[in-house]
Amino acid sequence: MRSSVFALLLACPFFLTLNGCVLGPDYVRPTISTPATFRFATSDMSGVANTEWWRQFNDPELDRLIATALAQNKDVQIAGTRVDEFLGQFASTRSQLFPQLSAGLAAQRQRVPQAGGIPLLGGEGPDYSQLQATLGATWDIDLFGRVRRETEAARANVRASEEMRRATILTLVASVASSYINLRSLDQQLAIARDTTASRAESVRVFDLRFHGGEVSQMELAQSQSEYEASRATISRIEDQIAQQEDALAVLLGENPGAIPRGLRLPDLDAPAVPAGLPSDLIERRPDLRAAEQNLVAANALIGAAHALYFPSISLTGLFGSASGQLSKLFIGPARVWSFAGAVAQPVFTAGNIRGQVQQAQAQQQEALLQYQKAVQVAFQQVNDALISVQKLREQTDVQARQVKTLETYARLARLRYDGGYTSYLEVLDAERSLFNARLSYTQTRQAALVSFVNLYQSMGGGWAVDVEYMTAVAVTPGP
């Protein structure tokens, strides 16, 4: 161990620069195996990659809700306080690189016994005063880079917290957009259920008149009433879902649960354009991947900090001031006091404590590396899944739109056949029930298709620019 210390002392120009050496590996971005292209990738739409993507729905009310959420959401505010917390930790860690100065002023009045051989101050009487003014300094010299590595880790933690704040903002915007689309879908389903219920109420009224006139059986009247009650139950279920969706969206806005204002109807919402970025663009844009990499940077730096514990720590202390029994003589030459000291502490036997800390730091770095690699893989999975959903849900929406038109024709012809006496009322019920369910299903698929665009933009890292200053990364400079 002693030979290693002397070797480092010779290698480090400490006595010339007071900078010392930095132990441990410098960070190098790991090589990640990534796919060359995305599955089901669409044409490149880089023109919309850096816009506020939610505006492509062309709904001013949605724009207003998102602006409200960005200003009031509690999760975003909590994420901001975490950035401030890590900034404080960075400032505290970095301060250890510099001398620490302190000043003191003391005064006392004391009486000593006149007997017992205790000498009196300056030959004066038993009562005397003492005044002291001092300026002190301490400096723990970072010869082997422990504090610099800890500062590097703290800086990475600040940047990771800022990226997590951006991830929170991205998740918030996507959640508000998805919740709003879900709400408008429920509104559309409620309108369908009410229209169907009104139509069935009219059928019940007509069948009741015809039953009392002896034209239809009680079974046909009961069938009509059953379908009417079924659609009424659907209305209650959807109204309950709307109330819960409004409450959830209100919390996202940072408000108390309550009603949410509406804008465009679901069929009037425009489907955004689909951007397709390159894998490198994905890695550079997603805030969760940036945060994972900064966590890796921090873990890598702490390996060097742990290694530095093997080597000596050097501290310098100094004090300069004046001491006197009279205030008028406090700052004259004979009252001056000073001291200077240096200390070197070298670990000799720690029973495996330092070795354990090094092992722990290395394991944490490997864990952070694996977490980063996993985050990249999950990111590509999410983008691929979102692209598949966008394409397939678009196809499914087209198919269901044609199905609804076909069932409308079927229901109209079944009613005509029943009125002409060519078929039973069961065929009419089957046609109308199928049409009702198909209209609800089409609305839900349309909702899922619009939400798939939201999921795609979120998985691509947003593709939008929120007006948030990246002050943390700018303020934190690379060196002490």
Q: Which residues contact 26 (CB under 8 A, 6 or more apart)?
A: none
Please identify which residue in the block is written with the tokens 């689909």: 274
What was the pLDDT predicted at 30?
A: 87
Of 274, 272, 252, 281, nearest to 461 by C-alpha is 281
Report the pLDDT averaged over residues 156-163.
Answer: 94
What was the pLDDT predicted at 188?
A: 96
What was the pLDDT predicted at 177?
A: 95
Q: Tell me which of 112-116, 188-192, 252-256, 343-347 is least confident.
A: 112-116
pLDDT class for 118, splitting at 50, 70, 90?
Answer: low
110 or 453, which is more confident?
453
d(CA 356, CA 390): 50
Of 384, 86, 427, 73, nearest to 254 by C-alpha is 73
What was the pLDDT predicted at 133?
A: 79
- Whether the pLDDT of residue 45 is over 80: the answer is no
What was the pLDDT predicted at 283?
A: 62
- Whether the pLDDT of residue 98 is over 50: the answer is yes
DSSP states along 196-258: HHHHHHHHHHHHHHHHHTTSS-HHHHHHHHHHHHHHHHHHHHHHHHHHHHHHHHHHHTTS-S-
Q: Specify whether the CB–CB gap between 236 and 151 falls below 8 A.
A: no
pLDDT class for 332, splitting at 50, 70, 90?
Answer: low
For Cα atoms 8, 13, 14, give the angle at the middle one, nearest 5 degrees.
85
Most confident option among 139-153, 381-395, 434-448: 434-448
Task: Please give the single-letter amino acid code of residue 105.
Answer: L
Structure tokens at 133: 């003014």
- Whether the pLDDT of residue 459 is over 70: the answer is yes
What was the pLDDT predicted at 254?
A: 93
Report the pLDDT averaged over residues 309-338.
Answer: 75
- Whether the pLDDT of residue 343 is over 70: the answer is yes
d(CA 180, CA 450): 11
Query: What does the mean pLDDT of the chain come to?
Result: 82
What was the pLDDT predicted at 331?
A: 62
- Whether the pLDDT of residue 465 is over 50: the answer is no
Whole-structure pTM value: 0.81
C-alpha distances in angstroms, 454 versus 21, 362, 396, 447? Answer: 49, 39, 18, 11
DSSP states along 409-443: HHHHHHHHHHHTTSS-HHHHHHHHHHHHHHHHHHH
DSSP structural state of residue 309? G
Report the pLDDT averaged over residues 249-269.
Answer: 93
What was the pLDDT predicted at 119?
A: 54
- Say how far residue 313 (Cα) sits from the centre of its chain: 39
Q: Tell me which of 97-111, 277-291, 333-347, 379-393 is least confident.
A: 277-291
- Measured from the Cβ of residue 134, the count of other Cβ atoms closer than 10 Å reads 17
Q: Where are the domains of the chain?
A: 25-103+130-475
d(CA 337, CA 32): 62
d(CA 433, CA 200): 11
Report the pLDDT averaged over residues 323-344.
Answer: 72
Angle in degrees, 0-180, between the axes of helices 218-252 and 425-459, rounded to the nearest 10: 10
What was the pLDDT predicted at 457?
A: 85
Report the pLDDT averaged over residues 397-410.
Answer: 95
Q: Give the percent of the chain with pLDDT over 90.
A: 47
Q: Specify whether the CB–CB gap between 431 and 414 falls below 8 A.
A: yes
What was the pLDDT predicted at 275?
A: 55
- Whether the pLDDT of residue 464 is over 50: the answer is no
Q: Specify whether the CB–CB gap between 390 and 449 falls below 8 A.
A: yes
- Over its C-alpha atoms, the chain yields an Rg (Å, rounded) of 38
What was the pLDDT predicted at 342?
A: 87
What was the pLDDT predicted at 327?
A: 60
Q: Tell me which of 316-320, 374-378, 456-460, 467-471 is least confident.
A: 467-471
Q: Specify whether the CB–CB gap between 24 and 149 falls below 8 A.
A: yes
52-92: per-residue pLDDT in tens?
Answer: 788 889 999 999 999 999 999 999 999 999 999 999 999 99
Span 25-103+130-475 CATH architecture: Up-down Bundle (1.20)
120 or 428, which is more confident?
428
Q: Specify whether the CB–CB gap between 38 and 276 falls below 8 A.
A: yes
163-182: per-residue pLDDT in tens?
Answer: 999 999 999 999 999 999 99
d(CA 230, CA 197): 9
